[in-house]
Amino acid sequence: MSDQPRDTIESLFQEKRIFPPPAGFAAQAQIQKAEYERLMTLAQTDYEGFWAEQARAELQWVQPFTQILNASNAPHYQWFEDGLLNVSANCIDRHLPERADQAAILFEGEPGDLRRITYAELLVEVSRFANALRSRGIKKGDRVVLYMPMVPEAVIAMQACARIGAIHSVVFGGFSGDSLRDRIIDAEAAAVVTADGGHRGGRVIELKAVCDHIIDDCPSVHTVFVLKRTGHSVRWNPARDVWWHEITAQVSADCPPLALGAEHPLFLLYTSGSTGRPKGIQHSSAGYLLGTILTMRWVFDIRPGDVFWCTADVGWITGHSYVAYGPLAAGTTLLMYEGAPMIPDPGRYWQMCERHKVSVFYTAPTAIRALKKQGDEYPARYDLSALRLLGSVGEPINPEAWMWYHTHIGHDQCPIVDTWWQTETGIHMIAPVPGVSTLKPGSCGRPLPGIMADIVDNQGHPVCAPDQGGFLVITRPWPSMLRTVWRNPQRYIDTYWKMFDNRYYISGDGARRDADGYYWVMGRVDDVLKVSGHRLGTMEIESALVAHPRVAEAAVVGRPDELTGEAICAFVVARGARPVGPDAQALTQELRQWVGEHIGPIAKPATIRYADNLPKTRSGKIMRRVLRAVAAGHPVTEDTSTLENPDIIRQLQGD
C-alpha cells in the first residue's frame, strides 16, 4: 500500500475504448497527418520560429513585428511586441469584400426570434458602436464593463472596444449586483454596457435594474449604454444612461481601426479561484488572437460553409475565444443562442442544430449529462446530419457521457474534441486534432503544436512513468497566455509561478499521462482526496459512478476520518426520482460494489447522498468545496450567491 511514490496522484482506472478518425473525415481535414507532424517537429526544433511563422501567416499586421519572445521580465512574457495591428480589423475588415454577404452571426432568441448579420453588416454595427463609445469620451486603454444577455450586441460591443483600444471586461449576466460592483470597481471602468433585460429560462433577467442598484457605488462610471432587448420599462438617469439605438443613430458608420501594439491589453476577465477575491485575468491582442485562429483550424477543423455553434455565454473565456473572436477571425458563420437548453423542452439544442444546419457543435459536460438524463428521444426527433464534429469543454467528460454524445448526437460519425484549457491559457492547450488523433473517451489527448505541457511531482520533477498522476504544468510561455493579474503582478506570480520557482506555469489541475502520451485530467489539485495514504483524483470515481445506469451525475469529496485520514463521500443525482428509504439503501450497496469492481476497493465511497442536483458555479462546474463542507457537517461559508442553484445546499444538508 505504501509502495507508491509520495506526492503523486494514483490512477486506478483505465479506459480501453479507442476511436480512430473516420476515413472520410481524415481525408478532408484541414490539418492532415503530414502537416501535423511538420508543425510538431518545427515547434520542437525552433520554438520561437514556429510561433513567428504562425503569427506572420495568420495575422494582418499594420506594422510587422521584428521581436518574437521577450523573456527579460519573466514570467511577464511579451510576444511580437513591436508589431502593430487591430484585432477587430483581423476579425471583420480582412474578410471584406469576399465575405460581405456571408452570415457572420446567426442569432436565435429564447422566444424564437431570428436574426442574420452578414460580415458587411457587422462592420457597420461595430463601427457605429465604436463611434458611440468615442462620442462619450471612451479612448484607448479605458475599461468598459459589459453586463449583457447573449445577443449579437454583446459581440458587437466587444469588437467595438477592440476597434478603439478600449479594454473590455465582460461580467456574466447571471452574476449578482455585488459581483458586478466588485468587478467594475477593481477595473475602474469608465462605462458599462448593458440591456434592459434578456430572456433566460422562460423569464426576463433584468440587467439594467441590477446595474441601477450598484452603480452609485461605482464613481468611475460616467456612461451606461443600454440596449433595448425585452422592451420592459427601466429607470432612467439622463445624465448617465444612453440608449444604444439612439446614440448609434447619431454617429458615423465609419470607424477606422486603431493600430495598437501587439501587447496592448485586449480584455480583462475576472475568475474566482478557491481563495481570495476574483482575479482580473489580463489578455494581450496579437498573441491571444493568434491562438484563437489556430485552434479554430487545428481543433475545430473550420472550413468554408461551416456553421459553428459554441453554447458558452460571452461571460466566460469560452465565449470570448470561441464566440466573440475565434470564429470571426477564422471567417466562419457563428450561431448564438440567448437562452436555456430546456426551453421550451430538452430538444431545443437539437432543434437548433437542425434548423441552422450546425456543422461544428461545442458544449460542456454538464449540459451533456443534463440532456442525457432527459432521455434519448429528444435528439432522435431532429435531423442532425449536418453535424460533423463535436466538442467538449469545462470539466473532464466522463466516458459514459462521451459515449452518449458520440452515439446519440454524433451518430457515430463525428469525432469529439475534448479540449483542456483555462481562462488563463486563452485557448485550447491539450486537445485532439480531429483528422489525425485517435480518440479515447475521457482523455483530452496530447498537447497542441507549440504547447509544452508536462506532469510534475510537488518538487517540480517530471513524472516520467506512465499513468502516474501529478501537477499539470506548461513548461514554456505561449503567445495566448495571460499577461498578468490586473494591477496585481505579485498575485500573478504567486498563483501561477511561485511554487516551482517561476520555471513552469502551474495550471492547478492534476493529470496523468498514459503510455501513448495522452493526458487524463484528474480534477483540481485542491480537490484531491487522501484515503489511507493514497492520493486519489475525483474524476475517476465520479466517472465510475456515472457509468452505472441509474446515475446521471456524481461528485466525490473527502470527509475527515480518524481511521483513513479522509473518507470518500459521494453525492449522486439519480436518473428519474431521487431515491429514498430502502431504495436508497439498496442503491448505495450496489454503487459501492460497482465502484469496488470498476476501480478498486480503496475507491468505494464510505457514504452516498442523493440529491436532485449538485451545487454548480454559473458556468456549470461542480463546487466540490461546498460539498466538502456539507460532507463534514460544517456550515457552508462560501458565497453561495455565485452558485447556479443555491437552494440545493439546504437539500444536501437536510439528509
Interface residue list for ligand 7RM (CB under 6 A): 271, 316-318, 392-396, 418-423, 444, 507-509, 521, 524, 619
Nearest distance in Å: CB 608, ligand 7RM: 24
Cα separation of 181 and 184, whole Å?
5
Nearer to ligand 7RM, 88 or 538 (CB): 538
Q: In 3-state terms, what secondary structure has residue 405?
A: helix
Nearest distance in Å: CB 621, ligand 7RM: 6
Cα separation of 537 and 552, whole Å?
20
Cα separation of 655 and 653, whole Å?
6
Nearest distance in Å: CB 336, ligand 7RM: 18
Nearer to ligand 7RM, 69 or 368 (CB): 368
Strand 143-147 to 191-195 pairing: parallel
Nearer to ligand 7RM, 316 or 361 (CB): 316
Cα separation of 596 and 606, whole Å?
11
Nearest distance in Å: CB 219, ligand 7RM: 30
Nearest distance in Å: CB 395, ligand 7RM: 5
Nearer to ligand 7RM, 258 or 627 (CB): 627
Name the one residue in this structure whose C-alpha cell is 479612448.
139
Nearest distance in Å: CB 172, ligand 7RM: 11
Sheet of 484-485: strand order equals 241-243, 223-227, 191-195, 143-147, 167-170, 267-271, 279-283, 484-485
Nearest distance in Å: CB 610, ligand 7RM: 25
Strand 565-574 to 260-261 pairing: unpaired
Nearer to ligand 7RM, 281 or 587 (CB): 281
Nearer to ligand 7RM, 279 or 356 (CB): 279
Name, in order, each residue with C-beta under 8 angstroms of 267's C-beta and a sequence gap of 6 or more.
158, 161, 167, 168, 169, 170, 282, 283, 320
Name the one residue in this structure whose C-alpha cell is 482575479.
279
Q: Left, alpha or beta for 165 (phi > 0: left; psi -120 to 50: alpha)?
A: left
Nearest distance in Å: CB 20, ligand 7RM: 20
Strand 416-418 to 389-392 pairing: parallel
Nearer to ligand 7RM, 109 or 447 (CB): 447
Nearest distance in Å: CB 655, ligand 7RM: 28
Nearer to ligand 7RM, 103 or 431 (CB): 431
Cα separation of 233 and 163, whole Å?
31
Name the one residue in this structure whose C-alpha cell is 460533423.
388
Nearer to ligand 7RM, 393 or 587 (CB): 393
**Do the Cβ atoms of 202 and 196 come closer than 8 Å?**
no
Closest CA to 302 of 355, 358, 380: 358
Beta-bridged to residue 530, according to DSSP, are: 535
